[in-house]
Amino acid sequence: MKILVCISNVPDTTSKINFTDGDTKFDTNGVQFVINPNDEFGLTRAMWFKEKQGASVHVATVGGPSVEPTMRKALAIGADEAIRVNAEPVDGFFVAQQLAEVVKNGGYDLIIGGRESIDYNGGMVPGMIATFLDMNFVNTCISLEIEGNTVTAIREIDGGKETLSTSLPLVIGGQKGLVEESDLRIPNMRGIMQARQKKLNVIEPISASKTTEDVSFDKPAPKGTVKLVDSVAELVGLLHNEAKVI
């Protein structure tokens, strides 16, 4: 089985978000970048398929040279090879077209992406790849078992979960649950050394158009001061009379 894990390079979850250039760009100043958490759960599940079922695991991303440390981290965790499509990821549709091309040329059976990236929250790349290549697709995937070509997946739905049966080739949008938080791997020294020897292929993008454009950004208005109350009765009164939510 050949697996491609699609990785997004995103600000660490603890990052404070600021904008620059007249609020038209995300300010990367002082921001630590990491593997998108939803992708990392998928990558860790891919490692399981590699170790238990002999799968090969490649990782791919769309981005400039600045994303390479994140790719090296994925290699240090245990991916065999990395592919960087040398282009700015202008929107989800563009990224999905680039990655679909990587999938087509690489002959992958299973494509693992994240449910969404925690920066632009588009949540569209895995589903679009599946559609461009006419593959099966499962989103918000929290469990994935594969025997031969037969797949049993569980996805999170609002208020519960749904078990699905499908088959390879398959694209999933993964998230926590595919593996547990405690299963995530911190690269060890051996992994980091090995990662330096692994292939990080840089390929040029195909011609593709963007469909959307973020023209400006802003931040939520700051919250007013909290009203501290001494009694529960007072709170119930305020929720009813002032906030009008009960």
Positions 127 through 146 that interact with other proteins (CB under 8 A): 127-128, 130-132, 134, 136-140, 142
Q: What is the token pair recorded at 49?
A: 């398929």
DSSP-H helix ranges across 68-115: 68-77, 92-106
CA gap 43, 90 in Å, rounded: 23
CB closer to other proteins out of 53 and 211: 211
Which residue matches tokens 């649950």? 177
User: What residues contact 140, with CB distance under 8 A and at least 6 apart?
Assistant: 115, 155, 156, 157, 173, 175
Is 27 a binder of other proteins (CB under 8 A)? no
Of these, 63, 78, 89, 126, which contacts other proteins (CB under 8 A)? 126
Residues in the chain: 246
Which CB sits closer to other proteins, 51 or 181?
181
Of 46-54, 58-66, 85-93, 191-199, the segment contacting other proteins by CB under 8 A is 85-93
How many residues belong to the site for other proteins (CB under 8 A)? 83
Q: How far is the CB of 33 from other proteins (least distance, A)?
A: 13
Window 40-79: contact mask with other proteins (x via CB under 8 A): ----------------------------------------
Cis peptide before 169 (omega within 30 of 0): yes
238 three-class SS: helix
Q: Tell which positions 151-190 bind other proteins, by CB under 8 A.
A: 152, 155-167, 173, 175-177, 180-182
Contact 141, 175 (CB under 8 A): yes
Q: Which is nearer to other proteins, 25 or 199 (CB)?
A: 25
Query: Collapsing DSSP states into helix, strand and coil, what is residue 128?
Result: helix
